[in-house]
Amino acid sequence: MTALNPLERRRALAGLLGVSPALLVIGLFLIVPIVILAAYSLMQADPYGGVQAAFSSEAWYSLLYERDLDDNLAFAWSYLQVAGRSVSIAGATTLITLLAGFPVAVWLAMQPASRRPLLIFLITLPFWVNLLIRTYAWILLLRDSGFINSALLATRLIEQPIPLLYNNGAVLLGLVYTYSPFVVLPIYATLEKMDVRLLEAAQDLYASRLRTLFKVVLPLAKPGIIAGAVLTFIPCLGAVVAPELLGGGTKMMLGNLIYRQFSDSRNWPFGAALALALMAVVMLALTFYALRLSKKQEEAA
């Protein structure tokens, strides 16, 4: 291996200095918190909150097992139920936002360039309001004395209020409302660069609108669809506000479970282990997808 000459060393040093701010931010706000979580997960829980500086793997055992009255380990089905509910609600949220967001993104991309900034502004406008306030607004709409039930009662379509709040449907509605822009914007960013002449060519070849959609628009929008699905599914797994407020705390998801270990249960090691386990599953899934995508690109090349 040949040594670098002075010019190459200066260039390498300049490149390192150039990326050093990014490396510092990643180290402080990503790597350090993960290391702290890993350390907490291997300590004993303090009954008054926090951890005790003594090694213990009890938190990792608690992911799948719990101790009965005789201090024997028994399989903990409750946490698997919470994980299953989280995956199902996150998957349903992703599917609904894709079905609802894709037509909106296509419509946006077909609008005149002068009108698009205003429409995008209107889509992103809810982000200017705190998520907690937006979620509370849904409580006012969905509760028994809320606007929806009051309107239905006033029109005599129902005789008593419908339980619209504190169930999985309310949680799903809140998540769909929250994450819809995360689907619309990536798909729009992909279709914005689409050559309209491709659509004209498909029509000249007597392709119907539906066939043009599946053969031309969908393949072009595929990167945006995948990005939107990832940006929706992963945050939904760790959602806290919507399940806590719209689910009434009874429809617990993984985010609520982790939050309550650090707050109500005061079991920081178990909360850290849960957070690391969720993070590991997500990273493995993303890595598997990235490897498959890289393999397909190599085969296509």
Question: Reduced to 3 states, what is the DSSP secondary structure of residue 114?
Answer: coil
Global confidence as pTM: 0.85
Shared-domain flag, residues 128 and 236: yes
| 68 within some domain | no
**pLDDT computed for residue 182 by the predictor:** 92
Question: Which residue intervals of 51-130 are DSSP H helices?
Answer: 58-61, 77-110, 116-124
Residues 31 and 161 in one domain: no
User: Dihedral, CA atoms, 15, 19, 20, 26, nearest 10 degrees?
Assistant: -150
Tokens at 58, concatenated: 């009890």
| Closest by Cα among 282, 296, 263, 290 to 50 | 263
Q: Are 22 and 159 found together in one domain?
A: no
Are residues 163 and 25 both part of a single domain? no
Whether residues 173 and 243 share a domain: the answer is yes
Do 222 and 142 reside in the same domain of the chain? yes
- Domain ranges, residue 151: 78-269
Kindly list the distances between the CA atom of residue 11 and the CA atoms of 4, 7, 14, 20, 255, in Å, as whole numbers in the listed order: 10, 6, 5, 14, 45
Name which of 36-50, 59-73, 205-219, 278-292 the model is least confident about.
Answer: 59-73
Residue 41 lies in a domain: no
Q: Is residue 97 part of a domain?
A: yes
pLDDT category of residue 188 using cuts at 50, 70 and 90: very high
The pLDDT assigned to 272 comes to: 93
Q: Is residue 49 part of a domain?
A: no
Residues 153 and 217 in one domain: yes
The pLDDT of residue 301? 63
Please tell me the predicted confidence (pLDDT) of residue 113: 86
Whether 164 is in a domain gets the answer: yes
281 lies in some domain:
no
Considering its fold, how many domains does the chain have in total? 2
Residues 99, 219, single domain; the answer is yes
- Please give, one letter per residue, the 3-state secondary structure of 8-58: HHHHHHHHHHHHHHHHHHHHHHHHHHHHHHHHHHCEEECCCCCEEEEECCH
pLDDT tops 80 at residue 231: yes
Whether 8 and 117 share a structural domain: no
Q: What is the pLDDT of residue 293?
A: 77
CATH code of 138's domain? 1.10.3720.10
The verdict on 22 and 91 lying in the same domain is no
What's the whole-number average pLDDT of the chain?
Answer: 87
Q: Is residue 138 part of a domain?
A: yes
Looking at the structure, tell me whether residues 115 and 204 fall in a common domain: yes
If asked whether residues 31 and 128 sit together in one domain, one would say: no
Q: Is the pLDDT of residue 122 over 60?
A: yes
Q: Is residue 170 part of a domain?
A: yes
Q: What is the mean pLDDT of residues 131-141?
A: 91
